[in-house]
Amino acid sequence: MSTTPDSPSWHPATQAVRAGLARSEFDETSEALFLTSGYVFSSAQDAADTFAGDLVHDVYSRYTNPTVRMFEERLASLEGAEACAATSSGMAAIFCSLAALLENGDRVVASRSMFGAIIYVVNEFFPRWGVETVLVDPTDLDAWAEALSVPTKAVLFESPSNPLLAMVDIEEVSALAHAAGATVIVDNVFATPVFSKPLQQGADVVVYSATKHIDGQGRVLGGAVLGRSDYVAEIVTLLRNLGPTLSAFNAWVLLKGLETLDLRVRRMAENAEAVARFLESHPKVATTIYPTLDSFPQKELADKQLTGGGTVVAIKLEGGQDEAFRFMDALEIFDISNNLGDAKSLVTHPATTTHRRIGPEGRAAAGITDGTVRFSVGLEDARDLVADLEQALARL
């Protein structure tokens, strides 16, 4: 393999296309897909030297794979992280990011506004292993300060969060967390590496569901954990021994996804802003939530922390579940799906799907009403999306 060295002066769009590129002896233009589970050695001595750590050679694709390595190096470069470990899904990334730190008797402080499966991991799974979890309102700095007034091992949050885009002040919460001895893990799925760089704002670790914008075309599952080399080495040990490694095929799809991430996410965000401005001006929509709107509840923090509004818009309709369902069923372009970050625009009713499990009290605490509808805005022409919303709202 020959590797073109990445230049530290490259801008993100260049990194996304070039970083981590390692060409094989065939000098291919596009990154090669090494669809192989194992590797061969030219001699018994080479195998022995590799296992002894004296020779660098791939051993097995649960350990390393050239295509997966290209994806890891490219994403690390884009994120400005020392190292990256790719995982089989976003949930594998979240689980490993915590499992590398936590032991019986440890304490985790986490945002209560997170992806449903993450709430399960921190609130139900780790407590079975003797870990104490405290969930806080992500927007309330006093609540973070109180929760972090005692020694803590890990702090975990999503910012902006699903579905109402609640934001955490990464700089402030990281300072509080570090004073409590905690490692700060940020789920950066909603902001993407295009619009937020949590490591530059004080966080220690960034995790992704690459399933979302990094693939961005609804094809494969994947995830990543990024941070300092020593911490990522711990994640790699977990992956090698537990097995939730990214497949070479998925890594290749995601690597090609990274090439167009910046373009796609910027266009999706332009479309999302157009959708948000239309919805905000519509008399049948009670509330519209999008970070670049003046009405956004944490506008000042959004301006400080994000360089774009992202691809998700939420609204609250006054007519509850019945009205939300009639509206969603009337949409012709937006597909009904719990997924997000796709080229295709999607619409979700969080109370009955993604946020069903947290129950009415959990939803009330997070501000999710029965009339809340979430849009993941895709790459269609914004004029067609607005026309679709207009015709569906006219039918209410």
Ligand X SMILES: *Cc1c(COP(=O)(O)O)cnc(C)c1O
Interface contacts to ligand X, rule CB under 6 A: 89-91, 115, 158, 162, 187, 189, 209, 211-212, 221, 223, 340
Dist. CA 286–CA 393, nearest whole Å: 12
CB of 264 to ligand X, least distance (A): 16
Dihedral angle of Cα 16, 20, 24, 29, to the nearest 10 degrees: 20
Q: Which is nearer to ligand X, 158 or 273 (CB)?
A: 158
Q: Which is nearer to ligand X, 198 or 223 (CB)?
A: 223
Count Cα atoms within 13 angstroms, Cβ side, for 55.
Answer: 14
CB of 223 to ligand X, least distance (A): 5
Q: Which is nearer to ligand X, 91 or 236 (CB)?
A: 91
CB of 303 to ligand X, least distance (A): 22
Q: Which of 347, 175, 187, 195 is nearest to 265 (CA)?
A: 195
CB of 207 to ligand X, least distance (A): 8
CB of 153 to ligand X, least distance (A): 20
Where does the chain have alpha helices with state H? 12-18, 44-51, 66-79, 90-99, 116-120, 126-128, 141-147, 170-179, 192-195, 229-242, 248-281, 299-305, 320-330, 359-366, 382-394
CB of 205 to ligand X, least distance (A): 14
CB of 132 to ligand X, least distance (A): 22
Dist. CA 293–CA 90, nearest whole Å: 29
CB of 146 to ligand X, least distance (A): 25
SS3 assignment, position 224? strand
Q: Which is nearer to ligand X, 66 or 90 (CB)?
A: 90
Q: Which is nearer to ligand X, 204 or 215 (CB)?
A: 215
CB nearest ligand X: which residue?
A: 90
- Tell me the sheet residues that pair with 312: 376
Q: Which is nearer to ligand X, 216 or 393 (CB)?
A: 216
Contacts of 367 (CB under 8 A, 6+ apart): 164, 166
- Tell me the sheet residues that pair with 38: 60
Q: Which is nearer to ligand X, 61 or 89 (CB)?
A: 89
Q: Which is nearer to ligand X, 116 or 297 (CB)?
A: 116
Residue 253 — φ and ψ, nearest 5°?
A: -60, -45
In what helix (H) or strand (E) does residue 3 lie, and over which residues does it extend? strand 2-3
Q: Write the burial class of residue 280 (CB in 10 Å: 0-12 exposed, 13-18 middle, 19+ buried).
A: middle
